[in-house]
Amino acid sequence: MFEQLKKCKTDQRKGRSIPVAGLLILAVLLSAASGLYAGVALVPQQAPYVTITTTIYTTTTSWTTSIIWSTVTTVVYGVWTTVQYTTSTSTVTVTPRTAKTVAANGNARISTAQFKFGGASGLFDGNGDYLSTPDSADWAFGSADFTIDFWVRFNSLPAVRSAIYCQFVDWDHEIVLALENIGGTYYWAFLDWEAAYVVYLRATTTPSRNTWYHVAVVRQGVANWFIFLDGVSLGASVVAGSASASVTDLTASLSVGAEPAIRYFDGWLDDFRVSKGVARWTSNFTPPTSAYTNDANTVLLLHMDGADGSTTFIDDVTSG
């Protein structure tokens, strides 16, 4: 019974709405025995529920369909898609996700000397280098699932802390994912500090210089936290605050490679990704063997590719 009912091509202009005509006629034609059709979003009607199959054309001219049940709003590969149902018409409103602006600070630049994928990576010299992108609702994780993962190679190991992901307002308000050195013991850590720990997650590790590692910090459900190194869980534990706490929504830009003005990462980063609304791994896994492509949950994707020495870093959430 699965079939395509209607194709809708979006206008290249952002926010253009496209009528999907004849939904009531289509609903009548559907078999009561089936009740479901593959589609972009669920349209609530009298039982059985009916879904509309729509081909969404993005601004990059690629397209996909997605089966999502029980919601009237969903995301299809980076495109917010809303089906609004009335007694006579429905509308599919498509708003393409836009790439974030990423600024290189200090001497942060593209390097072809080291990389995991794509022939280049981001190079940071530990002395004022970092990337920044403006504050966004995409960093407001709350109590929902999220994943931050990346490839990292250290040129030198930190004396105190080497931040990879950071939102910093002041020393009483910050969120950090970092490699920490506490009395000579190294930890991968994620912390939300608001004059006291909201949550402080960490796991011991024994890093080496000049070695590529895949690191992933994952939250799943209300109180499940994971730190993976090369696909293996490090057995992370919450040592302060609460595992069930809501991550604070700070009003601050996102920094990659620094706690600005004091602590800076010295090494290389590749395929840095922030995913909202999904716990990508909750058990041991094989680390990625190729560069990431974007999907519905990717809110920041830095492949860090380009010409050697370039200071242009591109968010690839719209292009894969």
Last residue of a domain, one of 44, 73, 96: 96
Dump pLDDT digits (tens) for 26-60.
333 333 333 322 233 333 222 222 333 343 333 33
Q: Give residue for tokens 């593209």.
A: 110
What pLDDT shows up at residue 311? 98
**Three-state secondary structure call for residue 183:** coil
| pLDDT of 3 higher than 60 | no
Q: Residue 317's pLDDT band (boundaries 50, 70, 90)?
A: confident
CATH of the domain at 207: 2.60.120.200
Same domain, 264 and 135: yes
Mean pLDDT over all residues of the chain? Answer: 78
Q: Confidence class of residue 15 from pLDDT cuts 50, 70 and 90?
A: very low
Q: Are strands 109-111 and 103-105 parallel, antiparallel or unpaired?
A: unpaired
214 & 298 share domain = yes
Question: Is 230 contained in some domain?
Answer: yes
Evaluate if residue 307 carries a pLDDT over 70: yes
Edge-to-edge strand ranges of the sheet holding 54-57: 6-8, 54-57, 63-64
Asked if the structure places residue 12 within a domain, the reply is yes
Q: What is the pLDDT of residue 96?
A: 59
Statement to judge: residues 243 and 123 lie in one domain: yes
Q: Is residue 318 part of a domain?
A: no
**Residue numbers of the domain that contains 232:** 103-302
pLDDT band for position 95 (50/70/90)?
A: low
Average pLDDT over residues 168-174: 95
Is the domain of 21 the same as that of 167?
no
Same domain, 178 and 90: no
Confidence of residue 80 (pLDDT cuts 50, 70, 90): very low
Q: What is the pLDDT of residues 197-231, one digit of tens each?
A: 999 999 999 999 999 999 999 999 999 999 999 99
Structural domains of the chain, count? 2
> In whole angstroms, what is the distance from residue 108 CA to residue 106 CA?
6
Same domain for 191 and 69: no
Closest CA to 39 of 10, 7, 84: 7
What are the pLDDT digits (tens) for 98-143?
Answer: 899 999 999 999 999 999 999 999 999 999 999 999 999 999 999 9
* Confidence class for position 295, pLDDT limits 50, 70, 90: confident
167: pLDDT strictly greater than 50: yes
Instruction: Using pLDDT thresholds of 50, 70 and 90, give the confidence band for residue 4.
Output: very low
**Entry pTM:** 0.75
**316: in domain:** no
- Segment 175-199 mean pLDDT: 98
- Edge-first strand listing for the sheet containing 90-96: 17-20, 90-96, 79-85, 73-76
| 127 plus 52 within the same structural domain | no
Quick check: 305 and 118 in contact, CB under 8 A?
Answer: yes
Same domain, 48 and 73: yes
Q: Are residues 66 and 90 in the same domain?
A: yes
Residue 137's φ and ψ, nearest 5 degrees, are -60, -20
Tell whether the model's pLDDT for residue 293 goes beyond 60: yes
What gap in Å lies between CA 40 and CA 144, rounded to an integer?
Answer: 23
Provide the pLDDT for residue 81: 45
In a domain, 292, yes or no: yes
Q: What per-residue confidence (pLDDT) applies to 237? A: 96
In a domain, 315, yes or no: no
Strand partners, 274: 148, 300
Q: Domain check: are 75 and 111 in the same one? A: no
Alpha-carbon distance of 269 to 123, in angstroms, equals: 7
For 286, list phi and psi in degrees, rounded to 5.
-85, 125
Last residue of a domain, one of 52, 77, 96: 96
What percentage of residues in the chain have a pLDDT greater than 90? Answer: 65
Q: What is the pLDDT of residue 55?
A: 37
Predicted local confidence at residue 297, as pLDDT: 86
